[in-house]
Structure 1
Amino acid sequence: MGRRGDTVGDVISDIGKIHGIPIPKGIFSRIFKEEKPENAFVYILNLIKDAKSKGKIPVLIIDELQTIGDLKVNENLIYKVFNFFIHLTKESHL
Structure 2
Amino acid sequence: RRREIGVRMALGAQKSSVYALVMKESVWLSLAGISGGLLCSVAVTMMLRNLLFGVSRWDGVTLGGVAGLLLAASLVASYLPARRAASLDPMQALRAE
TM-score (norm 2): 0.30
The structure with the greater share of residues assigned to strand is 1
TM-score by length of 1: 0.31
Larger relative contact order, structure 1 or 2 (CA cutoff 8 Å, min sep 6) = 2
Q: Say which structure is richer in helix.
A: 2
